[in-house]
Structure 1
Amino acid sequence: MTTNPTTSAPVQWPVGYRINPRAEGPAADIVEAFRAIPVAAIGDAMSRNIGTVGLRQYHARLDTVLCGPAVTVRVRPGDNLMIHKALMMVQPGDVLVIDGGGDVSQALVGGLIRTTCVAKKLGGLVIDGAVRDLCEWAEEGMPIFARGHTHRGPSKDGPGEINVPIACAGLAVLPGDLIVGDADGVIAIPAMEAADVLSRSRAHLVKEATIRADNAAGKSDPERFDATLRAKGLPI
């Protein structure tokens, strides 16, 4: 039993449908700080095994950064009924993260939905599914990552769920997670861990800056890798 996100009254959802209230993400200053942190550095600070696999960006500019709290949606492949409903619930800056099952036979979003996203001041979209109307998505103002594209449009029949735990292109996402995406990929940061991950990401960038300076000067420390090779039994 959950509550209706509009009235807060108890509700028993039909099988295959669920709409939970929007989850608050990290504080606004934390979200803004992550805009300056590359996804690769965040991934390095989070053990290097977290992030989407197989998505590509459909906005044109490589330097565009997607960053905001997740509103999650799970849909039946090729159906976008619950995406339309989720767009009635989002707040400015939210990122719509959609589990479309990796299906690319029918587009889940197109140019008309993009118009709504811009009007709602959405932070962007991450879709394990297909898009269409590529020329419109390539325009500035609405970052989007997706599995693929097709001209074939979606149905609007359901079922689907909003603000539930989902898997999107190999990335586990909870409602309210901080989503960051750039030219390298997309990653999710648990809201409660965002401040700590920010600190560790910044420290990692400082470490990288030192290594980069040494590499540029031609004075890389050989022990950085030789010690590892010796530990594996090589006579270095």
Structure 2
Amino acid sequence: MQFMTTDLYDAHEGQVNVATPLLQRYGGRARFSGQIATVKLFEDNTLVREVLGTPGEGKVLVVDGGGSLRCALMGDQIAELAVKNGWEGVVIWGCIRDSVAIAALDLGVRALATNPKKSVKRGEGQQGLAVRFVDVDFTPGHWLYADEDGVLVSPTRIA
């Protein structure tokens, strides 16, 4: 992947949104991009597993976990599933676990923090909604670009 968010921002200033830098980098891939798919849930990762178990076709799953720090919404098994199914990355407004194993995977991962506690499994959540966190609207079909300098969102493909 040959883009830099700084260059993309400079070339498309006013057309891209920049995420407030609250998300930490955990995946083995520092730089990733793709069309956005979304899920919204709270402390229940059933839908995360379900969606990442489908063909990702180079997309990025954005998970609005309500910012909860009380449990993890993705661990190494779900992250491995994402890699197997061709997802470029996962951005989580919440926590992950198994961070050492996830760091070894060819997957872009951003999340608030780590927590060893697993989530509940109630099968709750919604898919395909526009969600908002870190001062950015994440709309399905828009494009996300992430690298060492941050996360950008654009309504169209820019790189």
- In the alignment, structure 1 residue 75 sits paired with structure 2 residue 41: yes
| Contact 1:105–1:152 (CA under 8 A) maintained in structure 2 | yes
- Of 119, 141, 146, 2:111 maps to 146
Amino acid of the residue matched to residue 131 of structure 2? I
- Of 116, 119, 126, 2:81 maps to 116
- Identity value in percent: 26
1:40/1:88 Cα in 2 relative to 1: closer, same or farther (>3 Å)?
same
- In the alignment, structure 1 residue 165 sits paired with structure 2 residue 133: no
TM-score normalized by the length of structure 2 = 0.89
Aligned to 2:121: 156
What's the CA shift for 1:49?
A: 7.8
- Of 65, 72, 79, 2:31 maps to 65
1:43/1:101 Cα in 2 relative to 1: closer, same or farther (>3 Å)?
farther
3-state SS of paired residue (1:176): coil
| Contact 2:80–2:105 (CA under 8 A) maintained in structure 1 | no
Which structure carries more helix by proportion? 1
What's the CA shift for 1:100?
A: 0.9
3-state SS of paired residue (2:86): coil
Root mean square deviation, CA, Å = 1.9
Aligned to 1:46: 13
TM-score normalized by the length of structure 1 = 0.61
Aligned to 1:209: none
Q: Which runs of 5+ in 2 are unaligned?
A: none
Amino acid of the residue matched to residue 24 of structure 2? R
- Distance in 2 separating the partners of 1:158 and 1:67: 28
